[in-house]
A and B are shown apart, each in its own frame.
Chain A
């Protein structure tokens, strides 16, 4: 009996450890491949210059247009998603706290929105854009990506808010708070690390998505200076360069992928730092 338990313990430990470490290995492998294939094209020009004439045939220039476009779209969309998503998540967990069924119904709908493929958001955004007589532009891209990431924002933040013990609600109300005061002065603070995670996930999804910006943001070699100008994005830059027959251009695709990965890693580290910094006071 004892021997059996030891064998069982060992086997499951190995399986679990293998599962965990193989995920890390895959991440390392992806990063390794991207850098291996792209490092020759990864130079200062890539991040400081926009495409010059002949760039797509291996000529001079960089992908600054796509870096800036992607950052504009991701920050803009995340900003809109925060404006809509934060109050929505707080509303579900503060004002609707009694109505479990309504809460669950809303959560179900949000999950459905989360599950819609981004190309569908792209098509929807495109229709919307045509309806309002807009062209492919930074604004259309920001709105479409905001639609894509807001459900992610709400549900991720909501997931953390929903774990807050009811005793904290009671204590807050007993002190004479209104629901709004409870939401913004207590629950937002208590769920702040979840909020940061929500922002990070949304941002990551927004900056990395190609399908939603394909029709809506368009593509340009210039850096947009207005909301109604088209904007290039890194995922599309990768897509276009990767489909080139010229090896130098394909290398640049991997360099662009490396840049996108680095941006996401920086945002991720920053978010972890913020989340740690602001979660010292929370009730556990």
Chain B
């Protein structure tokens, strides 16, 4: 049933992409988020283009992480957050979904500020999501684990110690493991919340290069406050401040001709 709708949507979006320049995979309509009495996301309307890197840029505390968490409804974990509006992932409105949310969440992989490997072995970390999908065939799982570890360039580093604890890896390797784990669920979107902020420059570079490679097959939504990272990676930039979208567009356009004072200021301080 699930895979059926998946293929239908694929065909559906192919049809659209012929008509329009870019098709969208995620659409946000009138999203408002309140934390207790503070209005932390104000009337967000946003279309995320498919198979592109969209960067949510802005100063700390502008609500970009909350926006990202609303997309796969992790805001549910925080009682103080009241979320209102619609977020359509393909055909599903995740915020008002009545059918099971875990299935919609599997359309998105999450990469957080620091890696959170599951308290199991390297192998089981990647196999976890595959098994949740009900796949029991050992060969299929083995194959998928290897393929996804290769995808993030971790296979050669860990192939001889797949049964070691995931926590025995370096933090940069852990972050790549978390990416592989997310990819194993076959998401269409990768949500990345400042994924390089805890990493050393070399590990950060590896993650950035991976994003460039993955962009062909996945839609990547990247939260960052680092201007240079946005310039390096973005196809589309959404600049946010105080819970509002201030400006958005292609990076060249946006950074060369900022239309608002807020963005001008951010560019000056960011450089």
Q: Are B129 and A176 in contact (CB under 8 A)?
A: yes
Asked whether A186 lies within 8 Å of B119 as measured between CB atoms, the reply is yes
A6 to B3, CA, bound (A): 71
B112 within 8 A of A: yes
Contact A281–B77 (Cβ < 8 Å): no
Most buried by B among A165, A175, A280, A281: A175
Interfacial residues of chain A within 99-151, with CB under 8 A of chain B in the complex: 99-100
- With the chains together, A181 CA to B132 CA distance in Å? 9
- On chain A, the residues within 8 Å of B58 by CB distance are none
With most chain B CB atoms within 10 A of its CB, the pick from A98, A169, A189 is: A98
Chain A residues within 8 Å of B77, by CB: 97-98, 166, 169-170, 173
Interchain CB contact (< 8 A) of B105 among A165, A166, A174, A186: A174
A282-B178 contact in complex given A99-B79, A174-B108, A175-B132, C-beta closer than 8 Å: no
Interface size class of B (residues with CB under 8 A): 35 or more
Residue of A nearest to B78 (CB): A98
Q: Does B258 contact A (CB under 8 A)?
A: no
**CB of A185 within 8 Å of the partner chain:** yes
Chain B residues contacting A192 (CB-CB under 8 Å) are: 119
Q: Does B72 contact A (CB under 8 A)?
A: yes
A189→B120 contact, CB < 8 A: yes
A186 to chain B, nearest CB (A): 6
Bound-state CA distance A281–B76 (Å) is: 28
Residue from A100, A178, A281 within 8 A of B102 (CB atoms): A178
A170 touches B132 (CB 8 A): no
A54 interface hit (Cβ, 8 Å): no
Chain A interface SS verdict (over half): helix
Contact with B along A142-182 (1 / 0, CB 8 A): 00000000000000000000000111111111111110010
Number of interface residues of A (CB under 8 A): 29
Q: In the complex, A283 Cα to B129 Cα: how many Å? A: 18
- Shortest CB–CB separation between residue B134 and chain A, in angstroms? 11
Assembly CA distance A33 to B76 (angstroms): 57
A190 at the interface (CB under 8 A from B): yes
Number of A-B residue pairs with CB-CB distance less than 8 Å in the complex they form: 87
Contact A281 B106 (CB under 8 A): no
Closest to A189 in B: B119
Does B26 count as interface, using CB distance less than 8 angstroms?
no
Report the separation of the CA atoms of residues A174 and B182 in the bound assembly, to the nearest whole angstrom: 8
| CB < 8 Å neighbour of A175 from B78, B113, B114, B185 | B185
By the criterion CB–CB under 8 Å, are A283 and B116 in contact?
A: yes
Q: What residues of A have a CB within 8 angstroms of the CB of B133 in the complex?
A: 176
Contact status of A175 and B182, CB under 8 A, knowing A170-B110, A280-B165:
yes
A166 vs B76: C-alpha distance in the bound complex, in angstroms? 12
Contacts A98-B77, A283-B117, A283-B167 given; indicate if A171 touches B185 (C-beta within 8 A).
no
Q: A284 at interface (Cβ–Cβ under 8 A)?
A: yes
Max chain B C-beta neighbours (<10 A), residue from A98, A100, A171, A280: A171
Apart from A189-B118, A281-B119, A283-B167, what are 15 other A-B pairs with CB-CB below 8 Å? Answer: A98-B76, A98-B78, A99-B79, A170-B112, A171-B110, A171-B116, A172-B118, A173-B77, A174-B72, A174-B105, A175-B110, A186-B118, A280-B165, A283-B116, A283-B119
- Closest A-B pairs by Cβ, 3 of them: A174-B110, A176-B106, A281-B165
Residues of A participating in the B interface, judged by any CB pair closer than 8 Å: 97-100, 165-178, 181, 185-186, 189-190, 192, 280-284
List residues of chain B with CB under 8 Å of any chain A CB.
69, 72, 74, 76-79, 100, 102-103, 105-106, 108-110, 112-114, 116-121, 128-129, 132-133, 165-167, 178, 181-182, 185, 191
